[in-house]
Amino acid sequence: MSINIVPQELNRENVNNANDGFGPKGAPYAWRDNVVPWLHRFLIPPFEAGGFGAVVDKGLRWLNNRGIKSIDDLSKLNEIDLAVFYYLGKSFSMLGDEESALACFHVVWSQQCFAKKMLSGFAEYCAMAAQELSDIAAERGEEYVNGFDVKPFFASQLGKKSGMCFIATACYGSPFAPEVLFLQQLRDRYLRKTSIGRAAIQFYELTSPPIARCLSRSPFWRRTVRRLVVRPLLGVARRISS
């Protein structure tokens, strides 16, 4: 059975100036010599080494620094941004966050209408994103993938400084689960205000992605960690915050 993934109309325009937009840049040498190497030096190596949490952190920081924080900002996507969204999608998928992965792949696939404007080699990311969406549709259904809303991703992951709760997200299967959002709020409200808390957050963000990756592969361990670790932690956190 063939699967048809329809590109979402997330932006009808793509600007082109010094750094924004697809196609030749206003400062081609600086862009080629400084920006493109960033992708091959700071994003692709950690992805290939299995550092998916690091890719998520670097990718979200890149998009925030570029001012891409909402669907309205997609009109200034350039080729590097496109690649960042693709590697974010792959990394979210490896960490068990299917909803964030879907959103990222949809953003990339939605840009296929600008493929002829892109610098050589970057349009391939659109085709690869379409394949990722098709693979998810084969398991979850074409209607689910085509009807997926990307707006919550921008609201929850971009335009903010707080990182992901990797283990909780893996256990509950979504960064938008009420339990995950509660833990994020607790972290930002209490832990970030003390030096010990910030050190604990840094340690967690360094060590939790490999654990989350393992959990995403095992329904048994997701249920076990959710029941024996996350739920008791939620109980303590609710008593503290009440």
Residue linked to tokens 């959990």: 215
Ranked by mean pLDDT, the top range of 29-38, 61-70, 141-150, 208-217 is 141-150
Mean pLDDT of 192-203: 81
**Residue 100 in this model has a pLDDT that exceeds 70:** yes
Give me the pLDDT at residue 31, please.
67
Reduced 3-state DSSP string for 20-39:
CCCCCCCCHHHHHHHHHHHH
Give me the pLDDT at residue 176, please.
62
Token output for 31:
């862009």
Q: What is the pLDDT of residues 101-124, one digit of tens each?
A: 999 999 999 999 999 999 888 999
Distances 165 to 23, 40, 61, 74, 175 between C-alpha atoms, Å: 37, 27, 16, 26, 8
Q: Map out the domains of the chain as residue ranges.
A: 28-156, 162-241
